[in-house]
Structure 1
Amino acid sequence: MSTQDILAELQQSYLTGIPSHLEEMENMVLNLEKNHDYQENFDALYRKVHSLKGSGATYGFNIITSVCHQFEDFISDELQTKTRIPPPTINKTFAYIDILKNVHSLLKGGDDAAGLIQIEKQLQALQAKNTQSRLRAILIDPPEKMYKQICIQTLIDANVSYVTTNNSLTAFQRLLNEPFDLLITPRENAELSGTALIAALKLNKRCNINIKSILITSNPNLGVPDNLQPSLIILKGMNFSEKLKESIDAIVLESTQKHTKH
């Protein structure tokens, strides 16, 4: 048996095992969707995709490696550190698995160049969806843990990318140099109050001069000029979660409508 024949036999054996790997991935994603042992299933999914990426290259199937490389990046960007995944993200996760199924079918049937080109187009389309503008928020941690958790979960549910910090001066430095779409800050910060931070951003006229801002407070009387007011004020209390969700959903909708027009 020639070396080429041995390689072909190994490749077919490798392809035979792929469906079971994809089925395991689907079960992991279902568990993530149901929030069953989230971290354990996230780690297992990442390892499975990473392993398939490496083995695809080993057996000469570069298309498998390409799909898994993009899938791996998606997992790191969209699933890591989350506690619950919104439906659009779940759908995209399954879309990558579906592409891998299509790749497997094509490879099992022989070298279908036209089919592989179509797979690459599907991959490019999925990548384009992933890189479409998502709202990016910066959250300054409220002193009360409960309000912080509500803010984070609301951002996750709205599919908003976010970073957090417990230092308002650090947030201010980032806001002067990095583009963000939304600032959520408590009024009471140790370093720089929420009202002072919002006013400073407006007066500095840097990249985030028009950023949407949500101020969390117990007292709506801010005592600042109208042109330095936050976009929204949400009072602490029983309806906080509901009001925050309404506010963030409205900001996301406004952003989506702007992108649709353009």
Structure 2
Amino acid sequence: MPISDDIKLGHAERLLAQLRESYLQDLPNHCGEIENLVLSFDRKDPETVFDEIFRHVHSIKGSAGTHGLHLISGICHHFEDHLKTLDGRFEKIDGRFINVCLAYIDCIRTAVSLFEKGGETLPLENELEQLRKRFLKNNLAGLLVSSSNYITMLCQQTMGDLPVKLTTVDDGFAALERLLQQKYDFIITDKELKQLNGVALTLAVRASDSVNRDTNIIMLTSKMSIDFPAGLAPDEILPKNTGLSHALVDAVGKIFNGK
């Protein structure tokens, strides 16, 4: 007799659940490895240690997303952003930097325990938000989404003197993944992007229940006539012309003043 689709589906779901459980069981060991690496910064070549830590965190993030463990992949996004603040200047590694790394590792461990026991995730989400504020100090966290090297460079230069920590992504889908998991104070998006354009990205974020549903969105475009459904439009639509830098400073300045 042929195997029914329901039986096949049930088998697949059980297999996925087993893989997810196995992944969660292995995560504490990976956390221990990352912790040992973080604590070895002062004893080993910091660049080698950094590369190993980043590789581990990036791998955990990807696997967590595959298994639908978006809280863990979100923690890893935060962790990666913290690591990137070094920007190759390993002399910046100090006790505060290491303590924040250890805090993110503890968050991953806590998330594993919550998923295994079915606990409430809100306290951990609040802890992550406090970590984010410690990381930012008095700065704004911005996400720049652009597939144009020129626009990316222009925005980075424009934001260079502002109290802003700017993360850049060149792909609409990658941006959406971040925005559904990680809080930002503002979003700058080009209208034309790889895979998912800026209009679709804006609509998806506005229509979601994510932490960025009400986040300020600034759209950059060569064509100003864009129709959005009521309540789903970006806060600002800026023309890509010679006045873009000044317009960006004004737009982000208003967000900072209203923080």
| TM-score normalized with structure 2 length | 0.49
Q: Could you say which structure has the larger radius of gyration?
A: 1
| TM-score normalized with structure 1 length | 0.48
In terms of fraction of residues, the more helix-rich structure is: 1
